[in-house]
Amino acid sequence: MSKPLVVDVHTHVYPPSYMAMLRARKTVPYIHDPANGEPRLIILSSDDDPAIPIDQRGRPVDSSYSDINVKLTFMQQHGIDSSVISLANPWLDFLDPSEAQEWARRINDDLEETCASINQSNNPDKNLPLKGRSSLFAFAVLPLSAPGPDIIVDEIKRLKSLPHIRGVIMGTSGLGNGLDDEKLGPIWAALEETQLLLFLHPHYGLPNEAFGGAEVTSRYGHVLPLALGFPLETTIAVTRMLLSRVFDKFPRLQLLLAHSGGTLPFLAGRIESCIMHERNFVENGGVVPGPQRSIWEVLKTNIFLDAVVYGVAGLKAAATVGGGTDRLMFGTDHPFFPPLNEGDKEWLSVTTNYKAIDENFGDEKEAVAAVLGGNAARILKLE
Ligand code: 5CU
């Protein structure tokens, strides 16, 4: 079998306009860019610890975060044919309501133009297959802090006219109160109607207290917030959606969960068991029925998972809950988790995910091809 198509569905950018906005800020999220010294990106609240000298906070930020040509080189170095780029966290969550709509339009138009110009120059006659040329598509961002849901719904509808947009990326705070917020109803309805995929991604993690306090958290760099905080955040967010019956009310809503669903595949049975044993679902002061559709059904009809889990056991769980390999899609999380040694061309974070796919499904060539790119091409209609 020839080398299969490889599509990266989890790969981020901060467009130059967003980088400039971060450089102008002094509170999280911000970029500290001294005249002498390397710029630092401070996006996680645990990074913004006054006890840490400012030139050591967060992480170094280089052109891989914002320069699309650097991403294209990375794609070539790792055998990736197509990438579905998305704005990285914390998206536009922190913006003043008065600025949200304009920024969402600016970023989404910028993503669309970037994809259009790269695809045009790599495939001017629009007659080449997806395999073997570098192409880009995008997940757009929503103006979630806008003063009213109608502004968000209007942007979702506008996205349908942008040819390279295949969905939207969203964090777990929604309109500020989590994803079981009834006020999100019109947004779920608009996503369902437009059939734009919702890429659900963590950012806020867990409070430092969950790890033993700020001192313990910072003692181990980013390990506790990223390895545990992020996956649990995703798990909690999607469980709150399930418990508040979002998937009963919007049965055609389609989600892609980052990092193989956090811990959802492993905990699904326990979540379902607790639901089955619970009598007391309360909403607006009254007792209501719990979710009507089981977590197993939701996992097989509403949820896709990326294959960014860095190990065979996690990948096996992710495939199992989806009923096979049809709902799993390769990703890299570029430009996060770069190699520690400058000059390394291969990213360990990427080769680990490739290896897990190979070790898990290597004997089943069709399954490997599906996870690496076939599923993304079909689900996101990339051809
Ligand atoms: O390393 C990190 O902090 C991150 C992040 O913030 N977002 C992401 O997508 N991956 C890693």
- The pLDDT tens digits of the residues spanning 45-65 come to 888 888 889 999 999 999 999
> In degrees to the nearest 10, what's the CA dihedral of 100, 105, 108, 111?
-120
Domain that holds residue 74: 7-379
Structure tokens that stand for 300 in this block: 């097989």
Identify the pLDDT of residue 284.
87
Average pLDDT, the chain: 96
Classify residue 233: in a domain, yes or no.
Answer: yes
Ligand 1 environment, Cβ below 6 A = 12, 43-44, 88-89, 222, 226, 333, 336
What is the Å distance from ligand 1's center to 87 Cα?
11
Identify the pLDDT of residue 51.
86
Return the percentage of the chain with pLDDT > 70, whole number: 100
Q: What is the pLDDT of residues 142-158, one digit of tens each?
A: 999 999 999 999 999 99
Q: Which residue has the higher pLDDT, 50 or 118?
A: 118
With a CB cutoff of 8 Å and minimum separation 6, the contacts of 363 are none
Q: What's 273's domain CATH number?
A: 3.20.20.140
Name 42's bridge partners: 30
Atom 2 in ligand 1: which residue has the minimum CA distance?
336
**Distance of alpha carbon 11 from alpha carbon 333, whole angstroms:** 5
Question: How many beta carbons lie within 10 A of that of residue 358, not counting itself?
Answer: 13
Nearest C-alpha neighbor of 22 from the set 47, 4, 5, 53:
47
**How many structural domains are present in the chain?**
1
Mean of pLDDT values over 73-84: 98
Q: CB–CB of 377/331 below 8 Å? A: no
Mean of pLDDT values over 234-241: 98
Mean of pLDDT values over 1-22: 94
> In degrees to the nearest 10, what's the CA dihedral of 84, 257, 381, 6?
60
Identify the pLDDT of residue 364.
95
Q: Compute the C-alpha angle 336/337/340, nearest 5°.
A: 130
Mean of pLDDT values over 347-371: 96
What is the Å distance from ligand 1's center to 143 Cα?
21
Name 237's bridge partners: none
Nearest C-alpha neighbor of 167 from the set 214, 133, 200:
200
**Distance of alpha carbon 62 from alpha carbon 82, whole angstroms:** 22
Which element (helix H / strand E) includes 198? strand 197-200
Classify residue 266: in a domain, yes or no.
Answer: yes
Name 84's bridge partners: 137
Residue 342 — pLDDT band, cuts 50, 70, 90?
Answer: confident
Q: Tell me: pLDDT of 255 over 70.
A: yes
**182 backbone dihedrals φ, ψ, rounded to 5°:** -60, -30
Q: Tell me: pLDDT of 2 over 90.
A: no
Identify the pLDDT of residue 249.
98
Residues making up the chain, counted from first to last: 383
Nearest C-alpha neighbor of 261 from the set 229, 311, 223, 309:
309
Atom 7 in ligand 1: which residue has the minimum CA distance?
89
Q: What is the pLDDT of residues 265-302, one digit of tens each?
A: 999 999 999 999 998 899 888 999 999 999 999 999 99
Q: What is the pLDDT of residues 182-195, one digit of tens each?
A: 999 999 999 999 99
Position 195, amino acid: Q
Nearest C-alpha neighbor of 10 from the set 352, 372, 333, 357:
333
Q: Which of 43, 44, 230 gets mutated to test ligand 1 (max ligand atoms within 8 A of its CB)?
A: 230
What is the Å distance from ligand 1's center to 47 Cα?
12
What is the Å distance from ligand 1's center to 366 Cα?
31
Return the percentage of the chain with pLDDT > 90, whole number: 93
**Distance of alpha carbon 365 from alpha carbon 370, whole angstroms:** 9
Classify residue 1: in a domain, yes or no.
Answer: no
Classify residue 166: in a domain, yes or no.
Answer: yes
Classify residue 2: in a domain, yes or no.
Answer: no
Q: Which residue has the higher pLDDT, 171 or 50?
A: 171
* Burial state string for 360-380 with b = 16 or more CB within 10 A and e = fewer than 16: bbeeeeebbbbbbbbbbbebb
Q: Tell me: pLDDT of 10 over 70.
A: yes
Position 30, amino acid: Y
What is the Å distance from ligand 1's center to 96 Cα?
23
Q: CB–CB of 368/362 below 8 Å? A: yes
Q: Tell me: pLDDT of 1 over 60.
A: no
Q: CB–CB of 349/333 below 8 Å? A: yes
